[in-house]
Amino acid sequence: MDSYSLRGDLLAEQNEQDLVAALRAGDETAFVALVDRYHPSLVRLARMYVRQPSVAEEVAQETWLAVLNGIDRFEGRSTLKTWLFRILTNRAKTRGERESRSVPFSSIGDPDEPAVDPDSFRPDGDQYPGGWKEFPTPWEGDPEERLLAGEARALILDAIEQLPANQRAVITLRDIEGFDADDVCNVLELSDTNQRVLLHRARSKVRRALEQYLGEVT
């Protein structure tokens, strides 16, 4: 079996028990597959708590050691992925506090942060108050395809980078890493509702950035 397909199989959620068993048995292939898949994500998430990239890298590395040292005690009450990211956030938070960059993740910020510029809608007193002044137009084709062009990619990453840390953390875990809502609540210690509010704000802003970009290139 080539190692790539082994890696794909091992990381599938339904094979988690095999993966845990392989780690406990000291299987290097399993460890490397896990590291290749999640290390960049861990570093990315750590960056939301600690300022310096080198510290984020350090926190991620420490997280792997904690995983190895704790794997025998892992009981599978959460998924391995959630457990891994929980260890990371706990450590990153501690480091962040020491660096005095603690992010109040539970606060959702400005209650009035509209998804779309209020100017896009008809005012009160209009025949259709709150209706579009101009209908949004369909995006031609799939922006995913255009993403292959580096420019769009950089633009979206930049839009995400501009988000407040808690919105950035939620959209990163949900939409980039593919976590489900429960996992995100668990990892970031958010309520269901706050998770959704943060996700909504984050996605709305990225949509705006994409709209602008697609408007310019077409």
Stretch that binds other proteins, among 6-14, 33-41, 79-87, 103-111 (CB under 8 A): 33-41
Stretch that binds other proteins, among 8-16, 75-83, 97-105, 134-142 (CB under 8 A): 134-142
Rounded to a whole number of angstroms, the minimum distance from the CB of residue 210 to other proteins is 6
Reading the block at residue 22, the tokens are 């392989």
Selected binder of other proteins within 76, 109, 130, 215 (CB under 8 A): 130
- Classified as helix, coil or strand, 56 is helix
Reading the block at residue 33, the tokens are 């597959």
Site string for other proteins, 35-54 (x = CB under 8 A): xxx-xxx-------------
- Assess 119 for contact with other proteins (CB under 8 A): no
- Assess 69 for contact with other proteins (CB under 8 A): yes
Element (H, E) at 183: helix 181-188
Selected binder of other proteins within 86, 147, 165, 189 (CB under 8 A): 147
In this structure, are residues 71 and 87 in contact, taking their beta carbons and an 8 Å threshold? Answer: no
- Looking from the CA of 15 toward its CB, the CA atoms found within 13 Å total 13
- Classified as helix, coil or strand, 132 is strand
- Classified as helix, coil or strand, 65 is helix
Residue 35 or 103 having the CB closest to other proteins = 35
- Assess 4 for contact with other proteins (CB under 8 A): no
